[in-house]
Structure 1
Amino acid sequence: MRTTILTLLLVVSTHLVQAQFSTYYYQKKSLFEKLPNDKNEIIFLGNSITDGCEWSEIFQNKKIKNRGISGDVTDGVLLRLAEVYESSPKKVFILIGINDLSRGKSQEYVFNNIQKIVQEIHQNSPKTKLFVQSLLPVNDCYGRFKKHTNKNEKVLWINKRLKESASKASYTFINIHDAFVNESGKMRKDYSNDGLHLLGDGYMAWVNIIKPYVK
């Protein structure tokens, strides 16, 4: 009887975990797990903002791997992190958290999970250089992604904590946020057409900031 109950609990728990993530998440996760590993990979890890860029093409570097998944959250990154560090990548660039906030997770929850991501990569691939990028600003002027685009104060709080913790947690903090804000502290309209995701000019601004760290 006890074995049966434990088995049922395990099944229920598994279904609950899977229900947190989209079919797209599992499609991409399963693909990433099948792709070949390369030496000296440079990995971009995050959600749709990372997913939407052609990183290897922009930098003209086939060692760069896009591990962004649209809609992903910090728990989703933690669930698929083994695929990231199994190649002992040269560098990992992390940008994650805005979707957590849109789902009601606290700013503390996001910050703590990013620290867990950093710690797990360090433990399993100690030679990997980690770069934690600030969350980007958002803008509610378009009336879209309303649960995302009212989170600028929480974004600032997370970014402040990420910067303060960089030395202790052994990662490089990259402030991309400030290049994207307008005079009101919101996402610049020339960099986004929905207040959350980036246009081409936005990606180019991002690339210009991180270029010295990628090369």
Structure 2
Amino acid sequence: MNTDRIYSVVVPMFRTLVKGRMGAGRRRYFEAVPVPKGRVLFLGDSITAGGLWSDLFPDLPTTNRGISGEATYDLLERVDAAINDPIAVSLMIGTNDLHGPRDLRDPALIVERTDEIVRRIREAAPAALVLLNSVLPRTEHFTAQLRAVNAGYRQVAARHGAEYVDLWPAFADDSGVVKQEYTRDNLHLTPAGYLAWAEVLRPYLEAAPRS
């Protein structure tokens, strides 16, 4: 079964439910509780939201601001409120765009929106380490689009003085498909997947300037 073909059909049908009901409580919480200063901020969708970042990085002050179901156009609505003098920002976003509204799926448009997100982060936190993670591999259904998005992300990072974090060497098999030990559904991560992601991030975050 190719799960990504199913996502492409089913997710647009339930997008309003996912954003309006499943993410609403978390969004309200984020609006009510500001991000403390001096944190490593994790921004993104459900892949970020599922990370136990304080456990993965016990020596770092972390804040998880991931919301399930979000795409780049959703994060643009809230990114400004999430930035409060962070030590570092780890951003992973874009995979949900691939099965979002058809007129917003083009890789060039995903890159354009992410460029604006990174620009706003850099403008609000000029001294912070900004880590733009590559979008993770999935099934072969999205491989070409993901490669195009990530090529654009590399340029976005360079343009805004961010670090491009290429996760594909750790997560993709020889055919460019996500390694099965790291995922439970070709999209979300297993505990082993989070451990692998943390190991890629660790050298960057250990070198981040501390106040």
Q: Same fold (TM over 0.5)?
A: yes
1:183-202 mapped onto 2 (5 Å cutoff): 183-202=174-193
What amino acid sits opposite 2:27 in the alignment? K
Query: Aligned ranges for residues 114-129 of structure 1 at < 5 Å?
Result: 114-129=114-129
- Match of 2:19, SS? coil
Q: Which stretch shows the higher mean deviation, 184-193 or 164-173?
A: 164-173
DSSP-derived class of the 1:166 partner: helix
Residue 174 (1) aligns with residue 165 (2): yes
Structure 1 stretches of at least 4 aligned residues deviating more than 6 Å after TM superposition: none
Higher mean C-alpha displacement, 203-212 vs 156-165: 156-165
Aligned to 1:102: 99
How many Å separate the matches in 2 of 1:57 and 1:19? 31
SS at match of 1:79: coil
TM-score by length of 1: 0.81
Identical positions, percent: 29
Residue segments in structure 1 that go unaligned for 5+ positions in a row: 1-17, 141-149
Q: Deviations over 1:176-207 (max 9, x none)?
A: 12211112210111111211111111111111
Gap change, CA 1:189 and 1:20, over 3 Å in 2: closer
Mapping 1:58-207, distance limit 5 Å = 58-61=56-59, 63-85=61-83, 87-103=84-100, 104=102, 105-139=105-139, 150-207=141-198
Count residues with an aligned counterpart. Answer: 188
Give, as a single letter, the amino acid of the residue that structure 2 aligns with 1:169: H
Whether the 8 Å contact between 1:93 and 1:130 is mirrored in structure 2 is yes
Offset at 1:20? 8.9
Query: Could you tell me how far 1:47 is from its partner in structure 2?
Result: 0.6
* 1:50 paired residue number: 48
TM-score under structure 2 length normalisation: 0.83
Q: Which amino acid aligns with 2:138?
A: V
Q: Distance in 1 between matches of 2:33 and 2:60?
A: 13
State whether residues 97 and 110 of structure 2, in contact with CA within 8 Å, keep that contact through their aligned partners in structure 1. yes
Alpha-carbon distance between aligned partners in 2 of 1:62 and 1:166, rounded to the nearest angstrom: 23
Gap change, CA 1:24 and 1:83, over 3 Å in 2: farther
Q: 1:81 to 1:204 in 2, by over 3 A?
A: same
Q: Which runs of 5+ in 2 are unaligned?
A: 1-15, 207-211
Secondary structure at 1:116's aligned position in 2? helix
Q: Which moved more, 1:171-180 or 1:30-39?
A: 30-39
Q: The residue matched to 1:151 in structure 2 has which SS? A: helix
Query: 1:21: how far off?
Result: 3.0
Whose radius of gyration is greater, 1 or 2? 1
RMSD: 1.8
- Match among 191, 202, 214 for residue 205 of structure 2: 214
**Could you say which residue in structure 2 is the equivalent of 1:9?**
none
- SS of the counterpart of 2:187? coil
- Greater relative contact order, per chain length (Cα 8 Å cut-off, separation 6+): 2
